[in-house]
A and B are shown apart, each in its own frame.
Chain A
Amino acid sequence: MKILVPIKRVIDYNVKVRVRRDGGGVETAGVKMSMNPFDEIAVEEALRLREKGIASEVLVVSIGVPQAADTLRTALAMGADRAILVQSEESPEPLAVAKILKILVERETPDLVILGKQAIDDDMNATGQMLAGLLDWPQATFASRVEKTGDSLTVSREVDGGSETLSLTLPAIVTADLRLNEPRYASLPNIMKAKKKPLETLSAADLGIDLTRRLTTLSIAEPPTRKAGIKVGSVAELVEKLRNEAKVI
């Protein structure tokens, strides 16, 4: 079984994101970039399936600026076998990403695509579902457990009321949630080895996909900030404030 894992380069999750003064975007100059944390979980799950002997190859794909090659190298250092970078000037919308991935899926014929449930920059939570729709493949979003049973995949998902288990006929799409696994760190020898692993570069334009954005950004603003209130000295004072000042109990 071959697994394709799409990954995205995003502002590191530890960075406090600031809106640019001109309102045209967020500050990215000199800001640390990393692999989207949910995509790291997806890479880890693919590697575990390979280590269990269920998968034979793990292919990672990223779509974006040339520096996304660094993110792919990170995935190769974690243990992925091969990488493809599809270069584009900026980060395309999920619909365009799904169309590019569809072409790569048709070319590479994986049995499974695992990706993060959302990217922590645009928080769209859409690419996996959109790719599943375009391919007419079954999908399991928000996965917390993945097991192969015969020709199908048994996936537990985190849903609003608790958890749910689905059985998907392969090929299929799975989107990774937080508790699917704890991703490994790449060791120094593996980082060195990753430099020699194959990384193919394509351009989005060559694939013939129209990247024109459907959503035009009119403005980006910081949300209204909440002011710190007061510290109370006792439980009695807290109850008094909640009853008589805030009037919420």
Chain B
Amino acid sequence: MTALVLLDAEDGTIPQTSRSAIAAATRLGDVDVLVTGGPETIESAAAAAAKIPGIRKVRTVSGEDFAHALAEPLAALLVALAPEYDHIVAAATTIGKSALPRAAALLDVQIIPDVMEIKDAETFVRPIFAGNALVTLRSSDAKKLLTIRTASFDPVPAEGGTAPIETVTPPPCRSKAHFVSAEHSSTERPQLEAARIIVSGGRGLQSAEGFKILEPLADKLGAAIGASRVAVDSGFVPNDYQVGQTGKIVAPDLYIACGISGAIQHLAGMKDSKVIVAINKDEDAPIFQVADYGLVGDLFQIVPALTEALG
């Protein structure tokens, strides 16, 4: 069996989420990776991918069509490469979730999203109902297309391999979708999906100004900052901070939930964290039912005191 893993490489690096998808794919057989991007980024992305151990080969496609990872050219490319593979895999990131179902439809295959566990080449476990149930299912499609819930698979290392690099000519694609602009949240902090520690805030922070109280704590811990849906909807932080069923799914070593009540949709995104700390003034908040350590009180006093206590 051979799998092709589409990497999120358009900025010239290979993120941890893509390395988790490779880890999942190695359970299915030999692994080739597909690196796409614009002419400026493709060489560094390909070089980074070639260093990942355990890969048979790196296949690269570059061109203006691929500079912004649009679903239309990516799906056309996956369809063109599909005859060589039994499985086509990507991390369940916004790119994987947009391109793989489109490719699956063109291949007459039912996509299997958010795979948490691989039982064998055709049997997979995935969450449904916001993670309140886990379904084990078997695919009867000749070819399988999967997106991977990255929090469920430890990533393969970034270094140690020397895979050969091969250039692929993409099929013609006259895309009717065009990139206009992007606004990326700039941050020096680790990415949510890759962070070992996450400090996360909810309604209890009260405002964008209030939310800033989490920054010194995150700085001290080298942590990423996350948020509940309420905090994002209320405009305290941008949308890409959201942890939950429809935001990011995370599983850090330590998740510190500050002023988050613990709605099911939020728990769905973080309950696989190794250690959960909850700080909330409401001692009956549902978050305490999943927290290893709970501290009841005013977070505007507790968070600075905790920052201070960490020395």
Interface residues, chain A, with chain B CB atoms under 8 Å away: 11, 16-17, 19, 26, 93-95, 98, 117-118, 120-126, 129-134, 137-142, 144, 154, 157-169, 172, 177-179, 213-223, 226, 228-232, 234-236, 238-239, 241-242, 246, 248-249
Contacts and interface: CB of A to CB of B under 8 A. Distances in A.
Contacts of B292: 229-230, 246
A60 to B, nearest CB: 22
A95 B105 contact: yes
B140 A216 contact: yes
Contacts of A246: 254, 274-275, 292-293
Contacts of B185: 161-162
B57 to A, nearest CB: 27
Given A123-B128, A166-B177, A179-B233, A221 B133 contact: yes
Contacts of A19: 132-133
B182 A162 contact: yes
B44 interface: no
Contacts of A117: 246
B183 interface: yes
A231 B295 contact: yes
A92 to B, nearest CB: 10
Nearest to B72: A138
A95 B110 contact: yes
Nearest to A222: B133
Contacts of B71: 129, 132, 139, 141
Given A26-B133, A236-B309, A238-B293, A130 B197 contact: no
Chain A interface main SS type: mixed
Chain B, interface size: which category?
Answer: 35 or more
Interface stretch (B24-32, B90-98, B161-169): B90-98
B12 interface: no
A176 B78 CA distance: 25
B113 to A, nearest CB: 6
Interface in B95-120: 95, 97-106, 108-114
B111 A161 contact: no
Given A161-B184, A161-B240, A238 B105 contact: no
Interface of B: 68, 70-72, 75, 93-95, 97-106, 108-114, 123, 127-141, 175-185, 197, 221, 229, 232-233, 238-240, 245-246, 248, 253-254, 264, 271, 274-277, 283, 288-296, 302, 305-306, 309-310
B240 A218 contact: no
B296 to A, nearest CB: 6
Contacts of A239: 306, 309-310
A214 B132 contact: no
B128 A122 contact: yes
A191 B128 CA distance: 32
A169 B183 CA distance: 22
Given A123-B114, A172-B176, 12 more contacts: A16-B132, A17-B129, A94-B101, A95-B111, A120-B129, A130-B102, A159-B182, A159-B240, A165-B179, A215-B112, A215-B139, A231-B294
26 contacts: A11-B129, A17-B133, A19-B133, A123-B127, A123-B245, A125-B97, A126-B101, A133-B105, A138-B176, A139-B177, A159-B94, A162-B184, A177-B246, A179-B232, A179-B233, A214-B110, A214-B140, A215-B112, A228-B288, A228-B291, A228-B294, A230-B293, A231-B293, A235-B305, A238-B277, A248-B275
Nearest to B271: A226
Given A138-B72, A162-B238, A167-B177, A218 B137 contact: yes
Contacts of A177: 246
Given A139-B72, A215-B138, A241-B293, A120 B130 contact: yes
Contacts, number: 250
B185 to A, nearest CB: 4
Nearest to A99: B105
Nearest to B302: A235
Which of A123, A137, A163, A179: most chain B CB closer than 10 A? A123
A62 B145 CA distance: 26
A39 B35 CA distance: 34
B294 A154 contact: no
A-B CB proximity, top 4 nearest: A229-B292, A130-B105, A138-B177, A133-B105
A139 to B, nearest CB: 6
A248 B253 CA distance: 7
B142 to A, nearest CB: 10
A124 B182 contact: no
A19 B135 CA distance: 10
Nearest to B196: A248
Nearest to B97: A125
A129 B130 contact: no
A141 B277 CA distance: 34
Contacts of B179: 164-166
B196 to A, nearest CB: 8
A223 to B, nearest CB: 5
B293 A229 contact: yes
Nearest to B147: A125
